[in-house]
């Protein structure tokens, strides 16, 4: 039996376990990335582990999320990150250098390596032929210290691409079609491997768009082969020496195969407020548009912005529309400036933002009340834009740019000829915004501002506990629901006591005060609980408020791991119908935890109703040990 690409890379990095679906394995991590919204906590955790130097082949710290400096918190975090990177041997990408995933693809990604990042869109690296996985910051801190990353072996789905994209149809439409077919929870427990003759027609930046937004499927990651397109991109980036061909064996086997004929796709759009509510653009033609935002780690590449400029050239943004554009990196920004495209974009009336995440994570540019906002981003969860009642649609840069001119959603195929764009033979290469760490960092002073607080930890797990059911929520609860982002809250990421005041406030503003008054308790949810961002604060801050266990129908992958990492017991309802037997305000008790977690079954008693039923604990032996220790940090220090 031949090997697929996924198993080839995992096999090369296997340090513990066997490659059998559902079994836990540990893999060696070659590279890590952090960004400033999650990186401050990740480095505080790395310091707490007590290792003197990072032990990966390369670790990079990016500043791209918290770049809005309205007070001292964000600049203080940036100064901390720069100093701690120098101290421990980490490359530092300065504010303004660009979005972590775009810059990492340009300057650091290599075929066949493993990348672990404290951002859920780390799978962008799969466009380069990497196994690139998003994880909580504590998992990344452990990997920086040389520890293995543990995961259950996913099933592998091959997406067989044939044909070629028509003009005005883009890589964004490929991943939107995947979301239309599979939904936001359809990829849980899978890795997607793209193959087939159509792969050769997609450039690396196009592939990265697909793998980036693959996070919205719930998959562990997505990956493309490393082929001539990969070699061409690396040569253009001045890094041709790291290329190696990496393809599946001809007789490779997969757990599932689905087919997509690229030539049959059409421009697609995701409706509010979930990335899988996908319909053809033509089905919504005429929808009046108020805001257009082009950028994000999904669609801010050189090619994306060149095409945007070609559409806007000689035209003016519609009077009703506010348009913004965020270049993905300094490299992209400089190239479109030197080649005249930036002038065409400015002349058309677009507002130019810095090379950062910006409005994608609610850092400015919130839409007006009742406004229709078209964005080239990867998520449109309700309220993520900064407006709780937002109406955000997700689409390609081409669809967005045409709508900016016409003032309404328009099938771009009616707009005229697709602007021709040639892939560059050579990108502008200037890494002066990336600071290389010194060979010896022991004398470097780490600078900490007053907003940077110590990492809170939890005591070892008791055999039983009881408490109030503090909150009952439904299906597809995102990490944005649990721990919102945005300009007001993101600056508190290194201050858990302060940020805990915002847990679940978009669902119930009283949650933080009620949790404190009750001394903690339980949260109950439905299907796909914790989908979305890798932000470990969605587990760390509830732990600080005393949340002891989360009981749901099933969990999203990263959040499930984060709950374990911070000592919150993740439990699933043995019978989903038991969800209706739990009500907010009930007094609950779980007992026999220490043995029950090892057996995989725990008894829950609803002290209010007198009903008892079983809960499932889907934990490995290692995860049980972590929970018993009170979380991954005390577990790691104890070892």
Q: Which helix (H) or strand (E) holds 230?
A: helix 228-236
Secondary structure element (H or E) that encloses residue 517, with its range: helix 511-518
Report angle CA 589, 591, 595 to the nearest 5 degrees.
155
In 593-631, which residue ranges form alpha helices assigned H by DSSP? 593-599, 621-629
Residues 492, 499 contacting (CB under 8 angstroms): yes
Identify the three-state secondary structure at position 2: strand
The answer to whether the peptide bond before residue 302 is cis (omega within 30 degrees of 0) is no
Q: How many C-beta atoms lie closer than 10 Å to residue 241's C-beta?
A: 9
Strands (E), 85-127: 91-93, 114-117
In whole angstroms, what is the distance from residue 367 CA to residue 272 CA?
A: 13
Work out whether the CA dihedral 430, 435, 440, 443 comes out positive or negative: positive
Q: Label residue 236 left, alpha or beta by phi (over 0 means left) and psi (-120 to 50 means alpha).
A: alpha
* Torsion over CA: 336, 339, 343, 345 (sign): negative
The Cα–Cα gap between 137 and 537 comes to 9
Separation CA 485–CA 386 (nearest Å): 8
CA 279/CA 531 separation, integer angstroms: 22
Query: Phi and psi of 56, rounded to 5°?
Result: -85, 170
Strand partners, 161: 260
As a whole number of angstroms, the distance between CA 625 and CA 631 comes to 9
DSSP assignment of 371-425, as one string? -EEEE-SS--BTTTTS-TT-EEEE--HHHHHHHHHHSB---GGGS-SPPP-PPPS
d(CA 335, CA 579): 54
Angle at 630 between CA 592 and CA 556, to 5 degrees: 85
Closest CA to 24 of 624, 619, 632: 619
Instruction: Give the torsion through C-alpha atoms of 377, 416, 410, 391, to 10 deg.
Output: 20
What single string gives the DSSP state of each residue in 239-264? -GGG---B---TTB--SEEEEEEGGG
Cα gap 29→31, rounded to integer Å: 6
Locate 628 and state its tokens.
């018993």
Output the DSSP codes for 144-202: HTTPPEEEEPPEEEEEEEES-PPTT--HHHHHHHHHHHH-TTTTTTEEEEEESGGGGGS
- CA–CA separation, 188 vs 216, rounded Å? 10
The catalytic residue positions are 64-65, 119, 379, 533, 535
Q: Indicate the pairing of strand 391-394 with strand 372-375.
A: parallel
Backbone angles phi, psi at 539, to 5 degrees: -110, -40
160: nearest Cα among 197, 130, 124 = 197
Distance, in Å, from the CA atom of 104 to the CA atom of 341, rounded to the nearest integer, reads 24
């Amino acid at each position: 039996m031949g090997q697929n690409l996924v198993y080839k890379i995992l096999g090369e990095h296997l340090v513990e376990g066997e490659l059998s679906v559902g079994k836990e394995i540990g893999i060696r991590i070659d590279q890590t990335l952090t960004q400033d919204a999650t990186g401050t906590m990740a480095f505080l955790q790395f310091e707490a582990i007590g290792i003197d130097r990072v032990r990966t082949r390369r670790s990079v710290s990016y500043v791209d999320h918290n770049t809005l400096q309205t007070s001292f918190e964000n600049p203080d975090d940036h100064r901390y990150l720069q100093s701690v990177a120098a101290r421990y041997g980490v490359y530092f990408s300065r504010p303004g250098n660009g979005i972590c995933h775009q810059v990492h693809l340009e300057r650091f990604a290599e075929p066949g390596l493993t990348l672990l990042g404290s951002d859920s869109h780390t799978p962008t690296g799969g466009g380069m032929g990497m196994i690139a996985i998003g994880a909580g910051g504590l998992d990344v801190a452990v990997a920086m210290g040389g520890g293995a990353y543990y995961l259950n072996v996913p099933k592998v789905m091959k997406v067989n691409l044939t044909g070629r994209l028509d003009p005005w149809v883009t890589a964004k439409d490929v991943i939107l079609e995947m979301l239309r077919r599979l939904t936001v929870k359809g990829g849980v427990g899978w890795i997607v491997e793209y193959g087939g003759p159509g792969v050769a027609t997609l450039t690396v930046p196009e592939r990265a768009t697909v793998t980036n937004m693959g996070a919205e499927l719930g998959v562990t990651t997505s990956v493309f082969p490393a082929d001539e397109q990969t070699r061409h991109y690396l040569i253009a980036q001045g890094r041709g020496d790291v290329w190696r061909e990496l393809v599946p064996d001809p007789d490779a086997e997969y757990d599932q195969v689905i087919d997509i004929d690229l030539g049959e796709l059409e421009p697609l759009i995701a409706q509010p407020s979930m990335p899988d509510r996908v319909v053809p653009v033509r089905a919504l033609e005429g929808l009046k548009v108020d805001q257009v935002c082009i950028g994000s780690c999904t669609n801010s590449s050189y090619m994306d912005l060149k095409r945007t400029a070609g559409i806007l050239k000689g035209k003016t943004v519609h009077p009703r529309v506010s348009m913004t554009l965020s270049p993905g990196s300094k490299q992209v920004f400089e190239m479109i400036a030197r080649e005249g495209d930036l002038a065409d974009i400015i002349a058309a009336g677009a507002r130019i933002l810095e090379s950062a995440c910006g409005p994608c994570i609610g850092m400015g540019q919130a839409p007006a009340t009742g406004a229709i906002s078209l964005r080239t981003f990867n998520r449109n969860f309700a309220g993520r834009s900064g407006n709780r009642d937002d109406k955000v649609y997700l689409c390609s840069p081409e669809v967005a740019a045409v709508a900016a001119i016409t003032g309404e959603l328009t099938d771009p195929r009616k707009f005229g000829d697709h602007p021709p764009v040639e892939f560059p033979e050579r990108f502008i290469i200037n890494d002066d915004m990336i600071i290389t760490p010194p060979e010896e960092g022991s004398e470097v002073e780490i600078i900490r501002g007053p907003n940077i607080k110590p990492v809170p930890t939890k005591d070892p797990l008791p055999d039983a506990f009881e408490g109030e059911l503090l909150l009952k929520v439904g299906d597809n609860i995102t990490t944005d629901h649990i721990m919102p982002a945005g300009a007001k809250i993101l600056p508190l990421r290194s201050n858990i006591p302060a940020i805990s005041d915002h847990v679940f406030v978009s669902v119930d503003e009283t949650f933080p005060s009620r949790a404190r008054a009750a001394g903690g308790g339980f949260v109950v949810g439905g299907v796909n609980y914790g989908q979305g961002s890798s932000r470990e604060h969605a587990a760390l801050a509830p732990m600080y408020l005393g949340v002891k266990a989360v009981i749901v129908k099933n969990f999203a992958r990263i959040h499930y791991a984060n709950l374990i990492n911070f000592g919150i017991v993740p439990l699933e309802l043995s019978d989903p119908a038991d969800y209706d037997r739990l009500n907010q305000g009930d007094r609950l008790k779980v007992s026999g935890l220490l043995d029950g977690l090892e057996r995989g079954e725990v008894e829950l008693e609803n002290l209010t109703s007198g009903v008892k039923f079983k809960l499932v604990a889907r934990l490995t032996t290692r995860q049980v040990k972590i929970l018993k220790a009170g979380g991954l940090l005390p577990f790691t220090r104890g070892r």
